[in-house]
């Protein structure tokens, strides 16, 4: 058995019928003339646009320039707003971003020539707060015992590396080349 009373049902039906009748009446009396009026308006605007008007050429040029300028401004503003709202995509690191690594207890930094060759290899103190340039000083202990001491100018941190300054330089360059060839350089490059 329905919980609604029969009288409620009748009222709902009557109200529904009135709403439907009202809607149909409005459609016939307002919507159709309204559409006709809109159509007429669109046609008259269309005709006005394509009719020839007695407007001086200089006014057309000025208005055209202003219109183009406005459109350019709006587009530029929109693009700058969009670019600000979008988070900057992290750039994929390239091997040329690999310009620093610690090797043999010394921090090495370098640049690349346009040819990709390593240039300007410089040694630094690997201490986090003390990345000053170190000076390689060669020491000779007989023919087969050459070492180079890298001493930090600031904290006095010393690192003795086996070999002459030139041979260590070459060793570091070879190691950099090896890391690039094997793709292991990525471990030393922080994402941009
Ligand atoms: Zn230092």
Read off the pLDDT of residues 28-77 as tens digits, 9 standing for 90 and up: 787 777 788 888 888 888 887 788 777 788 888 899 999 999 899 999 99
- Kindly state whether residues 99 and 182 are assigned to the same domain: yes
State the total domains in the chain: 2
**Residue 164 within a domain:** yes
Give the predicted TM-score (pTM) of the model: 0.52
**Residue 101 within a domain:** yes
**Residue 58 within a domain:** no
pLDDT number for residue 2: 46
**Residue 86 within a domain:** no
Instruction: With beta carbons less than 8 A apart as the criterion, state whether 163 and 146 touch.
Output: yes
Q: How far is the CA of 169 from the centre of ligand 1 (A)?
A: 20
Q: How far is the CA of 129 from the centre of ligand 1 (A)?
A: 8
**Residue 106 within a domain:** yes
Task: Name the band, by pLDDT with cuts 50, 70 and 90, for residue 181.
Answer: very high
- Kindly state whether residues 176 and 111 are assigned to the same domain: yes
- Kindly state whether residues 41 and 103 are assigned to the same domain: no
**Residue 84 within a domain:** no
Q: How far is the CA of 154 from the centre of ligand 1 (A)?
A: 5
Task: Name the band, by pLDDT with cuts 50, 70 and 90, for residue 1.
Answer: very low
User: Which structural domain, as residue segments, surrounds residue 108?
Assistant: 95-188
Read off the pLDDT of residues 65-100 as tens digits, 9 standing for 90 and up: 999 998 999 999 999 888 888 777 777 889 999 999
Q: How far is the CA of 166 from the centre of ligand 1 (A)?
A: 22
Q: What is the mean predicted confidence (pLDDT) over 93-119?
A: 93
**Residue 33 within a domain:** yes
Helix (H, G, I), strand (E, B) or coil at 13: helix
Range of lowest pLDDT (13-17, 143-147, 182-186): 143-147
Q: How far is the CA of 151 from the centre of ligand 1 (A)?
A: 8
**Residue 38 within a domain:** yes
Closest by CA to 164, choosing from 187, 183, 140, is: 140
- Kindly state whether residues 43 and 108 are assigned to the same domain: no
- Kindly state whether residues 22 and 105 are assigned to the same domain: no
97's CB contacts (< 8 A; 6+ apart) are 189, 192
17's CB contacts (< 8 A; 6+ apart) are none
Q: How far is the CA of 148 from the centre of ligand 1 (A)?
A: 17
- Kindly state whether residues 30 and 111 are assigned to the same domain: no
- Kindly state whether residues 29 and 100 are assigned to the same domain: no
């Amino acid at each position: 058995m329905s919980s609604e009373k029969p009288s409620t049902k009748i009222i709902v039906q009557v109200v529904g019928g009135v709403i439907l009748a009202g809607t149909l009446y409005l459609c016939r009396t307002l919507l159709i003339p309204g559409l006709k009026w809109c159509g007429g308006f669109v046609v008259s605007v269309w005709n006005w646009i394509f009719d020839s008007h007695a407007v001086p050429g200089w006014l057309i040029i000025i208005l055209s320039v202003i219109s183009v300028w406005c459109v350019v401004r709006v587009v530029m503003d929109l693009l700058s707003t969009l670019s600000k709202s979008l988070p900057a995509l992290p750039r994929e690191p390239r091997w040329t971003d690999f310009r620093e690594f610690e090797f043999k207890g010394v921090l090495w930094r370098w640049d690349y020539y346009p040819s990709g060759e390593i240039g300007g290899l410089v040694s630094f103190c690997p201490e986090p707060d003390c990345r000053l340039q170190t000076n390689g000083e060669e020491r000779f202990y007989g023919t087969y015992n050459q070492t180079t001491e890298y001493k930090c100018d600031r904290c006095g941190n010393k690192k003795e590396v086996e070999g002459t300054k030139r041979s260590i330089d070459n060793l570091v360059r070879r190691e950099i080349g090896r890391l690039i060839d094997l793709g292991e350089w990525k471990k030393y490059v922080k994402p941009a």
